[in-house]
Structure 1
Amino acid sequence: MSGPSRTGDSQPQERERIVETATRLFASLGYDATPLHTIADAAGIDGDAMADLVGDKHDIYLKVMERAFLALKAGQDAAFAEFTHDQAGVRRLADRHLDFCVTHPEVPELWIHRWLGDAADVAGMEARYLRPLLDRVTDELRDLVAPNVGLDEALWSLIWCVRGFVVGGVLAPDGQMRGPHDAQALRRFRTHLHLLVDLMFAPGAPR
């Protein structure tokens, strides 16, 4: 495939288009199931030209995951800007994470693919991009978790719950999967999320 001639001014836009396209494909198909030529074809860019702009598939994946991290960090920063050190504050953090994942479903999709074994040959993503975010939450919530609950387990229960709902939804009585774009399903899930928070984050609860 031959693409249009590129100028220095167009290269940033082309790089952005490649990363956006790869993000969409990695989120829907997974890294392992997305050939490099599929990214080039979907982005409308010659394969050799794409390699000159952003490197190989491994390089593109690193850029995609960095971009997902920066978006998640910005969401976390905004959530902590309104955080209060109490149970209501934990509820709001959970709400903001849910809202972020609904608005940016590609982020939970990318991570769920990875946690199910995708891109196993690309090491270090968790330490580089998840650990700093989790450490911040852990530091803030350490003394708010109920005495009989492990903090790591509590946080991961919420993370998996939110991301599973956003990516897969829940099975409704009519046999259909209902996800975040169904207003009633989203409202019911948010109520359930608050219940989980109230059960696991209860300062002053008896040991």
Structure 2
Amino acid sequence: MPDPKQPPPSDDSRERVIAAATALFAEHGYDGTSTRQIANQVGLNVATVAYHAGSKAELYQEVMRRAYAAEAQHLAGALAAFHSSAAADAAEAVRSLVGAYIDFCLANAHVPALWMRRWLSDAAEVIGPEAEYAKPLIDAVREAVEGALPDVAARTDVEMTVWTVLWMTHGFCCSGVLDKDGVRRGPGDAQAVDRFRAHLVGLALRELGLGGAP
């Protein structure tokens, strides 16, 4: 806990610490990042980092909370658009929803990277992010699709389709695909992105029984 006799933490220092931790946790994982590495990144000592941001576990929780907040905000807009168009053109509404999620992950590469590392048992001792952050967003998408498209929900497993979109998008953003020469092509390659987008949209449409053309 910060010493009440000390001046309040500098917002600038706290934000720099959180930004550095976000980048390091995404690149190396929670288990592969030390508080000293975070401190070195921002030019502070370990005690000052703890003063501004708490323990490493507390810092990780804040990083995950912010990742969730950004995703939730983006998803709220995407779901509002989905609700407004699903009745008129279900396939186009799904295309836009999947596309919005791909766009978010491409623009916020640290988010899929953080979650991919958790799926590989990174930060296993930090309990809570799945229940607090991942499940509510997955449920929100599932409930939106099931509510707007009851016929679709009656014939397919909407939740598994949501998971499929999530898994594949995170995988592409973190790993990309290999071209004919074995060279990795990922989010920085416009052609690979277009190819992935078309494939995932078509897959989601087929899974939901809405056709397959992207």
TM-score, normalised via structure 1 length: 0.90
- Distance between the aligned counterparts of 1:72 and 1:192, measured in 2? 23
Aligned to 2:72: 73
- Distance between the aligned counterparts of 1:139 and 1:12, measured in 2? 38
Aligned to 2:124: 120
Q: Per-residue CA shift, 1:10-51, capped at 9, x if unaligned?
A: 700111110010000000000001011001111111211111
Comparing 155-164 and 104-113, the one that deviates more: 155-164
- Distance between the aligned counterparts of 1:33 and 1:193, measured in 2? 32
- Distance between the aligned counterparts of 2:95 and 2:152, measured in 1? 12
Q: Report the alpha carbon displacement of residue 149 of structure 1 after superposing the two structures with TM.
A: 3.1
Match of 2:169 among 156, 162, 166: 162
- Distance between the aligned counterparts of 2:121 and 2:152, measured in 1? 30
Assess if the C-alpha contact under 8 Å between 1:144 and 1:201 holds in 2: no
The structure with the largest helix share of the pair is 2
Larger RCO (CA under 8 A, 6+ residues apart):
1
- Distance between the aligned counterparts of 2:152 and 2:164, measured in 1? 13
Counterpart of 1:163 in structure 2: which amino acid?
H
Q: Report the alpha carbon displacement of residue 198 of structure 1 after superposing the two structures with TM.
A: 1.4
Comparing 38-47 and 110-119, the one that deviates more: 38-47
Counterpart of 2:114 in structure 1: which amino acid?
L
- Distance between the aligned counterparts of 1:202 and 1:146, measured in 2? 10
Counterpart of 1:38 in structure 2: which amino acid?
Q
Aligned to 1:3: none
- Distance between the aligned counterparts of 2:46 and 2:63, measured in 1? 18
Consecutive aligned runs of 4 or more in structure 1 exceeding 6 Å deviation? none
Q: Per-residue CA shift, 1:111-148, capped at 9, x if unaligned?
A: 00001110000111111001111111111112264655
Counterpart of 2:57 in structure 1: which amino acid?
H
Q: Report the alpha carbon displacement of residue 155 of structure 1 after superposing the two structures with TM.
A: 1.1
- Distance between the aligned counterparts of 2:71 and 2:151, measured in 1? 23
Q: Per-residue CA shift, 1:54-88, capped at 9, x if unaligned?
A: 11100100110001000101110121232122121
Aligned to 1:63: 62
Q: Provide closer, same or farther for how the CA distance between residues 170 and 146 of structure 1 changes in structure 2, counting only shifts above 3 A.
A: farther
Which segments of 5 or more consecutive residues in structure 1 lack a partner in the other structure?
A: 1-5
Q: Report the alpha carbon displacement of residue 104 of structure 1 after superposing the two structures with TM.
A: 0.2
Which segments of 5 or more consecutive residues in structure 2 lack a partner in the other structure?
A: 1-5
User: How many residues matched?
Assistant: 198
Counterpart of 1:48 in structure 2: which amino acid?
A
SS at match of 1:82: helix
- Distance between the aligned counterparts of 1:144 and 1:113, measured in 2? 36
TM-score, normalised via structure 2 length: 0.87
